[in-house]
Amino acid sequence: MPKIGQLAFVDNNRLDIDSLGKLLVATGNRDSSDGDASTQGIAGLAANNNGDKHFLKASMRFWNGTNIDRARNNEEIVALASAARTADTNSSDIVNYNGKGVIMFINMTVAPGADNVTFNLQVKDPVGGGYHTIMSSAALTDIALTVLAAYPGSADVKTKYSTGFNDIVIPRVLRVNADHDSSTPTTYSVALVFV
Task: Say if residue 107 is in the same domain as residue 33.
Answer: no
Judge whether 67 lies within some domain: no
- At residue 167, the 3 state secondary structure works out as coil
Answer yes or no: pTM beyond 0.85: no
| 68 vs 83, residue with greater confidence | 83
Confidence of residue 25 (pLDDT cuts 50, 70, 90): low
Task: Say if residue 54 is in the same domain as residue 89.
Answer: no
Instruction: Measure the CA–CA gap between 99 and 192, rounded to whole angstroms.
Output: 11
Mean pLDDT for 142-152 is 88
What pLDDT score was predicted for residue 78? Answer: 97
Task: Say if residue 46 is in the same domain as residue 121.
Answer: no
What pLDDT score was predicted for residue 57? Answer: 58
What pLDDT score was predicted for residue 128? Answer: 94
Q: Residue 191 pLDDT more than 50?
A: yes
**Virtual torsion, Cα 193, 82, 120, 144, nearest 10 deg:** 90
Task: Say if residue 122 is in the same domain as residue 172.
Answer: yes
| 158 vs 110, residue with greater confidence | 110
Spatial contact of 42 and 54, defined as CB atoms under 8 Å apart:
no
Q: Residue 37 pLDDT more than 50?
A: no
What pLDDT score was predicted for residue 62? Answer: 75
Judge whether 170 lies within some domain: yes
Task: Say if residue 171 is in the same domain as residue 76.
Answer: yes
Query: What residue numbers bound the domain in which 13 lies?
Result: 7-59
Instruction: Measure the CA–CA gap between 16 and 1, rounded to whole angstroms.
Output: 11
- At residue 46, the 3 state secondary structure works out as helix
Judge whether 52 lies within some domain: yes
Please report, for the domain that includes residue 187, its CATH number.
2.60.120.380
Judge whether 89 lies within some domain: yes
Q: Residue 85 pLDDT more than 80?
A: yes
Judge whether 64 lies within some domain: no
Domain count within the chain: 2
Judge whether 97 lies within some domain: yes
Task: Say if residue 93 is in the same domain as residue 187.
Answer: yes
Task: Say if residue 18 is in the same domain as residue 105.
Answer: no
Judge whether 2 lies within some domain: no
Confidence of residue 173 (pLDDT cuts 50, 70, 90): very high
Instruction: Measure the CA–CA gap between 120 and 109, rounded to whole angstroms.
Output: 18
Instruction: Measure the CA–CA gap between 162 and 180, rounded to whole angstroms.
Output: 16
Confidence of residue 70 (pLDDT cuts 50, 70, 90): confident
Mean pLDDT for 147-167 is 67
Task: Say if residue 190 is in the same domain as residue 105.
Answer: yes
Task: Say if residue 84 is in the same domain as residue 128.
Answer: yes
Task: Say if residue 95 is in the same domain as residue 186.
Answer: yes
Judge whether 140 lies within some domain: yes
What pLDDT score was predicted for residue 5? Answer: 46
